[in-house]
Structure 1
Amino acid sequence: MTKRKYSIEGIAATILFLGLIFVVLLQVFGRFGLFVAPVWTEEMARWIWVWMAMIAIGEAERQNVQLRMSIVIDAFFPKFRLVLFTLIDLVYLAVTINLLWIGYKTVIRTWHNEAVTLPFSDAVLYASYPVAALFIIWRVSNRIWSQLSTGWQPKIKGGKEA
């Protein structure tokens, strides 16, 4: 299976990042006295940041670029690493599914809470994790399936196993 250069998560995170830059620039220029910055920009910047970070986790999972301490793992045989990384992914999947449920309950609980300066419910902010969790579950499940069907293929960087 070939990996596409761009993904839904990557595009969404990029658009959110560009929106974040715009909102922060509104804040900055408003503080220079060029115009009065809208009151909602600080809260909106925070909300965009949270959504961007959560959605970007799905992109990191798609590209399999999480931080790993591999000094001990590198000493093991590739088959053992396949089993170990698959077990780690299965535990990660279980934790993510549990957090998805908790996030869903949080969205329901905050549905009628109003944001301070934005005309939205706080549930919009808290919905960022359940949405991101769906991407994470999809990407980790694909990775597990790929590892089990093709075997673990180490990434090669600079002639060494990554």
Structure 2
Amino acid sequence: MPTLLRRGLEYLCAGLLFVIVAIVFSNVVGRYFLHSPIRWSDEVSLFLFLWLAYLGALTALMAGRHYSFPGLIDLFPPKLRLAAKTLSDLIVLVMLGVLVWCGVQLVDLLHFQRSPAIDLPLYYVYSALPLVSFLMALVVAYQIVARLRGAPELGQEPVEPSSNPDPL
């Protein structure tokens, strides 16, 4: 299930990137060739990019591709390695909690503001911060529990054998 969810997030991020590129390209064509820019394109592409950045960070975290120091931590003995990774994840959890708290305050602060070009309530855009930070905190908590139980962490799941044998 986590692999399926991560794959869905990857496709969502790819789709958002495609939409951003299409909007920006259409605006360039409209501005320089048709002399009629799309007035809302910069705003929409900026808002989509913000969501793409947060969802991309969540996807990277779920795939085990987020920042870490594996070369240094792998030098530790197994029990110290477990303690170092867990301590690191606990610090990340605290930071994500701060991001959720501050993000909720930001969304509340922007509750009555609307974007100038498309008249979208800004809390839709900036709700990405607390929402994705909360989801990342769930992933980190899952990682801690999986590590302490000896189960594979996200991004380290066993790979299912392919139905097609390697031709080499």
In which range does the TM-score fall when normalised by the shorter chain? Answer: 0.7 to 0.9
- Structure 1 Cα separation of the partners of residues 47 and 152 of structure 2: 38
Superposition RMSD in Å: 2.2
Task: Give TM-score scaled by structure 1 length.
Answer: 0.83
User: What is the match of residue 117 of structure 2?
Assistant: 117
- Structure 2 Cα separation of the partners of residues 74 and 56 of structure 1: 26
SS at match of 2:74: helix
SS at match of 2:10: helix
2:148 partner letter: L
Q: Which digits, 9 at most, give the CA deviation of each residue in 1:13-54, with x for residues without a partner? A: 222212212211112212331362311101111111110010
Query: What percent identity do the matched residue pairs reach?
Result: 21
- Structure 1 Cα separation of the partners of residues 55 and 97 of structure 2: 16
- Structure 2 Cα separation of the partners of residues 79 and 151 of structure 1: 15
SS at match of 1:4: helix
- Which ranges of structure 1 fall in alignment gaps of 5 or more residues? 156-162
User: What is the match of residue 160 of structure 1?
Assistant: none
Say yes or no: does 1:78 pair with 2:78: yes
Say yes or no: does 1:92 pair with 2:92: yes
**Do the aligned partners of 1:9 and 1:135 also contact (CA within 8 Å) in 2?**
no
User: What is the match of residue 40 of structure 1?
Assistant: 40
Q: How many residues align?
A: 154
**Do the aligned partners of 2:31 and 2:38 also contact (CA within 8 Å) in 1?**
no
- Which ranges of structure 2 fall in alignment gaps of 5 or more residues? 157-168
